[in-house]
Amino acid sequence: MTFQGWLLIAAFTGLLLVLVKPVGLWLFALYEGRRTPLHAVLAPVERGFYRLSGVDPEEEQGWRRYAVHMLVFNAALLLLTYALLRMQGLLPLNPLGYGAVGEHLAFNTAVSFTTNTNWQSYAGESTLSNLSQMLALTIHNFLSAATGIALAFALFRGFARRSTTGIGNFWADMTRVTLYLLLPVCIVYALFLIASGVPQTLAGSVDLTTLEGAKQTLALGPVASQEAIKMLGTNGGGFFNANSAHPFENPTALTNFVQMLSIFLIGFGLTYCFGKAVGNVRQGWAILAAMLTIFLIGVTMTYWQEAAGNPVLHHLGVAGGNMEGKEVRFGIAASALFSVVTTAASCGAVNAMHDSFTALGGMIPLINIQLGEVVVGGVGAGIYGFLLFAILAVFVAGLMVGRTPEYVGKKIESREVKLAVLAIAVLPLIILGFTAIASVLPAGLAGPLNKGPHGFSEILYAFTSGVGNNGSAFAGLTANTPFYNGMLGVAMWIGRFFIIIPMLAIAGSLAAKKYTPETAGSFPTTGPLWTGLLVGIVLIIGGLTFLPSLALGPIADHLAMISGQLF
């Protein structure tokens, strides 16, 4: 580990903390439906959308209505994307003349992008036309991110409102988030990327002769526009198969830094927005503090393991940290940090191959996702997932102050507990269940490239990534098969919407409750004690659930490595 490495991590965290409040306030304005400076230009566009679609943005929706509209919208997008990918060969903007995407791959990809997972069973540059990249994928990057933020808003309203049924209007939330936040930021962001050397063209590829005289084809396309929202919306689906390790997606150390920042930007801001929504910004800071604590533990662990390197290689005379699968222009610290950021935030973009990390270094990304993508988490999804844990934490420990547990003025009763448990149990059920199935079926066993515990980690990581809607790949798993495409597609869908529905039901149930004023006897949900408790609950519930699988995967892998056996 180096001083520069730690400086990078400190600068990254510090800069984000400075940005929390301004971003949070911007989000809060959208949450409230208040005017922003951009309204002067964009308000007519917003009104135009409403008029065209016949939406009344003031109309309040109950949680069921909100959920149905959200589901119908996402299902329609899913079908549209599937159709688009299947008909790719017949459509324009296909300079390299790619044919239709296969059935199971198209299904997997459509689900993947609809659910903000962006798991990529395909290699972008050799499978998809520019039209598919732009229309099928980039649009999803915007809309799935906006959906996440809208859902977080709905849950915030549940906490903030009193004795009412409405939790907002899905269409208004979607429109505002996309129009006043995602689009404007991405335009500026994309221009920055273009200036840094990221391609933005409709041309297909360039053939050139390298210095050694070899012929090479360089794939090109509208990369910058997709890259911007890929990071900001924690989508993570790269234009190229190599994702942010590819020099055209992430050319410099500066773009790398900005990409990491943009992954966390909205997630951080939403914690502040939550605090504003419930009338006490300290509530938001407490959640952010808990997220940051887990994040920093992970960064330290991964950086330490990667910098320490592989003892087997040390014996062979290879000095230094583990550089396998990392880009030289980023180095160990920036790669370790990126890997923890992208898995903490449900982004899934990668600038290094997690499969090549040391066993424990690679376990942190895995654990990050297994904890439920709540360490900052995907835009919106992170905070609503974390609030589910907060509900559990309040319930388990809240009784210890001798009152019916309350959180931000709402009593937590059996309905909320039931729904929160339901949402949280989905994660282990699908991750562990599907991994177990893949571990015994021949079709599943055909997937992993490596043998032993490392191969097991590859399967476990794939389902973890799918259910957690992360989308990062451990690599090493041959996932473009009917078995994995199908199973992962189902896993991604369940992992997204089977958590959202109970979460929205909680929002509805909370909104209907009366407000309980805070007193000296109320359970304190600000301050270090609460933060520590949150961290403890997230780690214990996540840890206890996944320890057996981790023991058979990365931990066994690590112990074998110490004893000189590699997989």
Partner 1 sequence: MARSTRKSLFTADLIVPAIGDAFRKLDPRELIRNPVMFTTAVVATLLTVLLAVGQDQLAIGFKLQLVVWLWLTVLFGTFAEALAEGRGKAQAASLRATKAELSAKRLKGDSFETVPASALKMGDVVLVETGDLIPSDGDVVAGVASVNEAAITGESAPVIREAGGDRSAVTAGTRVISDQIRVRVTVNPGQGFLDRMIALVEGAERQKTPNEIALTLLLVGLTIIFLIAVGTIPGFASYAGGSVPVAILAALLITLIPTTIAALLSAIGIAGMDRLVRFNVLAKSGRAVEAAGDIDTLLLDKTGTITVGDRQATEFRPVGTTSQAELAEAALLASLADETPEGRSIVLLARETFGRTATALPEGAGVIPFTAQTRISGVQWNGGIIQKGAVDSILRANPGLDKEAPTQELRRITDEIARAGGTPLAVAKDGRLLGAIFLKDIVKAGIRERFGELRRMGIRTVMITGDNPLTAASIAAEAGVDDFLAQATPEDKLGLIRKEQQGGRLVAMCGDGTNDAPALAQADVGVAMNTGTQAAREAGNMVDLDSDPTKLIEVVGLGKQLLMTRGALTTFSVANDVAKYFAIIPAMFVALYPGLKILNVMGLASPQSAILSAIIFNALIIPCLVPLALRGVTYRPIGAGPLLARNLAIYGLGGLVAPFAGIKIIDLAVNGLGLA
Residues binding partner 1 (CB under 8 A):
162, 392, 395-404, 409, 412-414, 417-418, 421-422, 424-425, 428-429, 432-433, 435-437, 439-440, 445, 452-453, 455-456, 459, 514-517, 519-524, 527, 529, 533, 536, 540-541, 543-549, 551-552, 555-556, 559-560, 562-563
Which of residues 229 and 412 has its CB atom nearest to partner 1 in the complex?
412
Which of residues 49 and 515 has its CB atom nearest to partner 1 in the complex?
515
CA distance 402 to 20: 35
Minimum separation from the CB atom of position 30 to partner 1 (A)? 28
CA distance 205 to 353: 25
Which of residues 75 and 544 has its CB atom nearest to partner 1 in the complex?
544
Minimum separation from the CB atom of position 470 to partner 1 (A)? 20
Rg (CA), the chain: 23
CA distance 424 to 393: 12
Strand partners, 216: 208
Minimum separation from the CB atom of position 513 to partner 1 (A)? 9
Minimum separation from the CB atom of position 566 to partner 1 (A)? 13
Could you give the C-alpha distances from 501 to 62, 69, 506, in angstroms and in order?
Answer: 13, 12, 9
Q: Show the 3-state SS of 224-247.
A: HHHHHHHHHCCCCCCCCCCHHHCC
Which of residues 45 and 539 has its CB atom nearest to partner 1 in the complex?
539
Which of residues 333 and 541 has its CB atom nearest to partner 1 in the complex?
541
Minimum separation from the CB atom of position 561 to partner 1 (A)? 9
CA distance 281 to 319: 48
In the three-class reduction of DSSP (H, G, I as helix; E, B as strand; rest coil), residue 470 is classed as coil
* Cβ atoms 557, 457 nearer than 8 A: yes
Which of residues 14 and 548 has its CB atom nearest to partner 1 in the complex?
548
Minimum separation from the CB atom of position 436 to partner 1 (A)? 3
Q: Among candidates 143, 223, 218, 130, which has minimal Cα distance to 181?
A: 143
Which of residues 78 and 371 has its CB atom nearest to partner 1 in the complex?
371
Minimum separation from the CB atom of position 551 to partner 1 (A)? 5
The residue to which tokens 């210890």 are assigned: 400
Which of residues 344 and 424 has its CB atom nearest to partner 1 in the complex?
424
Which of residues 36 and 509 has its CB atom nearest to partner 1 in the complex?
509
Minimum separation from the CB atom of position 529 to partner 1 (A)? 6
Q: Show the 3-state SS of 126-138.
A: HHCCHHHHHHHHH
CA distance 448 to 436: 14
CA distance 335 to 242: 14
Query: Torsion angle, CA of 56/60/66/69, rounded to 10 degrees?
Result: -20
Minimum separation from the CB atom of position 77 to partner 1 (A)? 31
Beta pairing, strands 406-407 & 410-411: antiparallel
DSSP at 477:
B
